[in-house]
Chains A and B, each alone.
Chain A
Amino acid sequence: MSKNINVALIGNPNTGKTSVFNQLTGLKQKVGNYPGITVEKKEGICKLPRGVKAHILDLPGTYSLNTTSLDESLVVELLLNKNDKDYPDVAVVISDVENLKRNLFLFTQIKDLKIPTILVVNMADRMDRKGISLDVEAMEKKLDTKIALVSTRKNTGIERIKELIADYKSISSKPILDPNRISPEYFDRLKKTFPQNDLYKLWLVITQDVNFMPIEKKRIQDATDFTTKSKEELKKLQHKETVLRYQLINNILKETYKVDFMAAKGLRASLDKILTHKIFGYLIFFVILLTIFQAIFDWSGYPMDFIDEQFAMAAEWIKDTLPPGLFTDLLAEGIIAGIGGIVIFIPQIAFLFLFISLLEESGYMSRVVFLMDRLMRPFGLSGKSVVPLISGNACAIPAIMATRTIENWKERLITILVTPFTTCSARLPVYLILIALVIPEGKFMGLSYQALTLMLLYMIGFGMALLSAMVLNKVLKIKTRSIFMVEMPTYRLPLLKNVAYTVIEKTKSFVLGAGKIILAISIVLWFLGSNGYSDDFENAESIVTERIEKQGLSTYSKNYIQNNIESYRESALNEGMAPNALQDSVVLLTSELSERAVAQEVASYKLEHSYIGQAGKAFEPLVKPLGYDWKIGIAVLTSFAAREVFVGTLATIYSVGSDEEETIKNRMAAELDEDGKPLFNLASGISLMLFYAFAMQCMSTLAIVKRETNSWKWPLIQLGFMSVFAYIIALIAYQILI
């Protein structure tokens, strides 16, 4: 049996930790969440020399073990808990050769935990260009460790890391800084009170809460009683520790690390002059945003159409090939329709994550934060809120997870609460189909009304996010110190591999996450729509036939027959069919069509008296003032699981209620209200769009908000406020327009 080694990758942000992780594990990695919190947990397997296997854990980036955010506290918690199954046998600290001094700060802290610690000096390929020389051997001696010089870009040094990990037993686990030096008096007392415990670990536990408030943490049981020092005094000691560590590091670097500034060349300074320029900076950012939107709305149209066609074909193929029956219906009407509704988002989601990961990898995202900070502040947000708000245009879930970099709790909470107003891609199919139905074609200043409407909806969403942020900023009484600090990393060309991993990983988790919900809902809907309990449902056929004998076909059916015959006549005449033959075939077609119309009326009567129809009817009074019938009501209701369900629900409801393949849009256009007018008109269409713009219809987002804020309070407030607001706005819009 080969033994598994637990390895933890630790390092400052922007040191290329993820690249090292990707190089070590290749595609043998999985991304999940730490139990209870949504901090991403990346794990992978790496094969080492001599048949040893290493289980590698990529910990969130941190500058030190003195935590100021959720991500960082997680690192500390793991390193303090020897019983954790992920507790590392060996720690690998990734550092960047240009910021070695700062990176070594973290290194010395990790080493003081008495974990064997390897130092990886990454980006070694930049040494020449930056005029850096490094005496590796001398440094290994001074730091009492082993060092691997690595370049993930040039693909060198990875083998050396593997060898060092395999040989971890020979790596020293002696600490570097004696904690007694921080305060002899204090640590002496500490030692007397807790003779069993490691002093430095105790110290970390005691000081953990000093800098970081809103998250509750487990503590070492005994340590809670030992609060003989005030916060200010503890902070003073932390400062002392920082100074001591830097003294130590400076002494080591003096002898081993040289920078010839004359030889140093850098892109950063010159690029920053343009990219963070007061005018050009905004212009460039604006152009980049436009490009992203263009990609999401325009370029992704082609693959989306393709996917749409494939799924329509698949559904038809199943209906044609499999024997008719319950299972075939479920497959074609419930499952395929449901899955198609989610797969179609893949191109958009992938494009968005492609751009976001390009911007992040290149180092540009930090510049956006820098540029936007002042603009966001009047709204109670920070420059760091910009990234979540932009990502929110793809999906609120990763966007809310991206708020973790905001240290200020109030700013972070506001960002979390308003992000769901931004127009996520799940709203897009709803908007697109409604716009196509109710907004007339035509142009205004070269732009089509339909495109303008879409743009307006995006602006409404973003504006609403800012507006509610401003209100929340006034209303919320949370005291926090504002520490806004953003590192501006050197610009680098994004590594294709890293970008590809991100895009694949994020897209996959979106599709699987949302897919499960949609699939489940489609099946339940389909079942509820094709079953009923009342006599009306059981005897639908005889009731409808009787009604038709007495009153004739419904207006809808009459229109349906007439439209079909007209278009048939037209195409037949174009093909040059003789009038006589045409007359005969029209008679034949008419009888065929009326037969089909009867079947359809039976089906829709059945639907109306099915479980779902009954539920919808009960729900109808609530949505009637907004201009919706019970079918739309059901679609809106199911959308509270996820917005994109809207189109899928209508597709399922309508295809249960008809026996032929027809596009969902035509089916919607043909729907009539009680007065025989189109159900989807300008008033009800706008009302629906506004409802979707404001309502909180996404279970996954609520779940994420719950986890990120650590209480049900905020997601429930969010759900209540957004939905009531949406209802009122939709009501006003409909009543004005009708």
Chain B
Amino acid sequence: MAALYAWRAARVTPLGELLAPPRITAALLRLTVQVVLVASLWRGLYSQTGTTAGLTRDQAVTYAVMAVLASRLRELDQRSGRDAVLQHMHFGTIIYWYLRPLPPQRYYALRAFGEQMYGLAWALAGYVVCLATGVVEPPKSPAVAGVFALSMLLGQLVLYYVMLLIDQLCFWTLRNGAAMLILIFAQNLLSGVYAPLWFFPDWFITMSRFLPFQATLSVPLSIYVGRVPLSDAGAQLALQAVWVASLALFTRFLWRRAARRVVAQGG
């Protein structure tokens, strides 16, 4: 029975997407154009240069295209489904999260899981097409593919906890619009969505080591394209695991504190 409830909660946002064909068409067109543009940009940039920052042209194109595909993983619009924490705080409906026979933290996790699975379907479909058309390179070996998959899983967990942290902010500030936008910019810049972190100056790479963002995308993609060799991957995976564990503990603590702040009908 619990599995049935979990399934029902997890499929809410994906179902909302599937029932809106214009959104699916838009997502498909957007992803296609973005992949073509990004691949063209990096090929154009490399046309007059060889290996730069330890990345060849094919590695850079693969990295950039896979970053675009990975950014699909959590791009669903909870706002249109009126289920963002910000909206619940604004309208007072957050109280229902605490009245259901399902703890709010589990409901939140199930919703996020459903969204990420739906995003994963998109990313995988895009990856297969890009691989078949030669836009991205295949992994160098099965071992690289396996370590990449593990690193990507840890990266998605880090991203989940970072986004949860921003949502939890609403319990104290009521609004998190500005913080969410800052997070998106930071995530895009510091995880290597805009450009692989290897292109950035040393001080920038050092700074990003102290932040969780590079663990979300830069680490798995660097392993995939071979910029981080398998011999060094262990340390990177350990760092990702540390981020997952520390963020999990911190957000767990915040859920408990947040529950004390929720009042119904004025207290």
A, B: real partners: no
